[in-house]
Amino acid sequence: MSSGETIEISEYEDFPAPIEISIKNLDNFYSEFKDKFEITPTFEFYKNIKKKIKEDHRYNGKNNKFKLNLKSRYYIGIIKLPNNKTVIIKPKISNDVKFLHMFEYVDPQYAKIFFDITQKITPESNFLTLLIERFISLAERLLRRTLVKNYTPVLSRSNKIRGKLCQRDTIKNPIFLKGKVVCVFDDFVPDILENQIVKFALFQLKFIAGQKYQARIHNLLIKMGDISLKQIKIEDIDKIKYNHLNIHYKNVHNYCRMIIGRFSFGFELGKHEWFSMLLNSWDIYERFLRKIMEKYLKEKLGPDLSIEKKGIKPKPWDKNKLFPDIIIRKDDEVLLLCDAKYKLEYEIKDIYQAAYYIRLFSKRNEKGDLKFEEKNRNFVLIYPTNEKSNYNSKPLEEKSYKFGTVFAHSIDLSQIDNKNYLKSWFKKMIKTFLI
């Protein structure tokens, strides 16, 4: 493949040909992509042969590069590999899947950023570069305006008393002998959380952005010299309450959230080290289903309905501590169990997994931990409509033992921006399983 060539594949597809990576870039390549692609040889194998890598048959002595075979996993997006190859990974379900619309339900604060940037992406550009350019421009525009200020406690050491005298701190401090006292007072300054978030994101960006952005970042940090450089976490950004005085910070803070979170879109709990443009399609699909169920089912069945994944605490005897993707209940009564299945058609293992969940919840019903009446012992596996399957509440097994029935149902992801379609879909679901 020639340098700069664009490769188009779908999820779980093999790359059309091996790629070659420079020996000096192999460590970084594996670090960046071993969780995003299936790589042959595996990272473990590479570590074992690293010292003798030039003896491996995959090594090309003419250009000092190593040959790798890649296969995509459950990520979609556009990325640029270190060898200048641009890879477009499309959804396996259909090209008509409206992932951006699902994205808006899951993380609306990022949807506009994602949309704005992806409209400008070409095989010659990448998401990270465009995001950095956009964020720096927004930060420059922010500093051209007057930064928001607020009253904040300031500790002062001087020979003048201002505000409240801190007697204990004054006596303990050696400067007391020189006639200086320690006071605390409220000062109207820009050194507040809104600005500290922006400064920390710029500081983080220094280590990510290319050389052409360093001067602009340096100038911005100098202009924010009066702002403290503090370690900021995503949780700190959530503390901001936006009003008419600071609402213009919201878009900038959304970019800060992505930079501070290492360009994660927030879908994987406990793991925030995504490559900038790859989105976990399975996780988006699962969270999207929970969000639309929360919206439409509560509208029809009341706000006290609960649609959760882990709304029920595990018991000591439940060794696996596994739960379905979606638990629909009112108080302690479970009304329906569902699983999001982002795949082309059902497999026998899906049925076994669903049956296990039904038995688990039936067992908890017998022990009195929750209510899971026999009429509610249904499990719905929800698959995207595609060329291979379009299930219509299809029973996958007859009622057996004392447990329940597993159903396959489909949702058309090409129509999820059509409110009439979604209302009709939920009307049928309610009529079939929840009334």
Of 52-56, 126-130, 266-270, the poorest mean pLDDT is in 266-270
pLDDT of the residue at 315: 58
Bridge partners, 165 (sequence order): 183
pLDDT of the residue at 366: 87
pLDDT tens digits, 315-370: 555 555 578 899 998 888 899 999 999 999 999 999 988 988 898 888 888 888 88
DSSP code of 132?
H
Q: How far apart are CA 261 and CA 114, in angstroms?
A: 15
Mean pLDDT of 14-43: 88
pTM confidence score: 0.68
| Averaged pLDDT of the chain | 82
- Strands ordered across the beta sheet of 333-340: 305-308, 326-330, 333-340, 378-384, 405-411, 394-395
> Cβ distance 364 to 323 under 8 Å?
no
Cβ-count burial 96-120 (b if 16+ within 10 Å, e if not): ebbbebbbbbbbeebbebbeebeee
Mean pLDDT of 47-51: 91
pLDDT of the residue at 427: 92
pLDDT tens digits, 403-415: 788 999 999 999 9
Give the count of beta carbons closer than 10 Å to the beta carbon of residue 391.
18
DSSP code of 314?
P
116-125, 151-160, 420-429: which is most confident = 420-429
pLDDT tens digits, 284-300: 899 999 999 999 999 88
pLDDT tens digits, 207-230: 878 788 999 999 999 999 889 999
pLDDT band at 270 (very low <50, low <70, confident <90, very high): very low
pLDDT of the residue at 84: 66
Of 99-108, 141-150, 386-395, 421-430, the poorest mean pLDDT is in 99-108
Q: What is the DSSP string of 204-261?
A: HHTTTS-HHHHHHHHHHHHHTTTS------HHHHHT----TTTGGGHHHHHHHHHHHT
pLDDT of the residue at 276: 44
Residue 266: pLDDT over 70: no
Backbone angles phi, psi at 237, to 5 degrees: -65, -35
pLDDT tens digits, 230-256: 999 888 888 888 988 888 898 899 889
Mean pLDDT of 15-21: 89
pLDDT of the residue at 271: 33
Residue 65: pLDDT over 50: yes
pLDDT tens digits, 131-173: 888 899 999 999 988 788 877 777 777 777 776 778 676 666 6
pLDDT band at 186 (very low <50, low <70, confident <90, very high): confident
Residue 116: pLDDT over 90: no
Residue 398: pLDDT over 80: no
Residue 126: pLDDT over 70: no
pLDDT of the residue at 267: 39
More confident residue, 405 or 123: 405
Owner of token pair 């790859």 = 278
Residue 82: pLDDT over 80: no
pLDDT of the residue at 201: 93
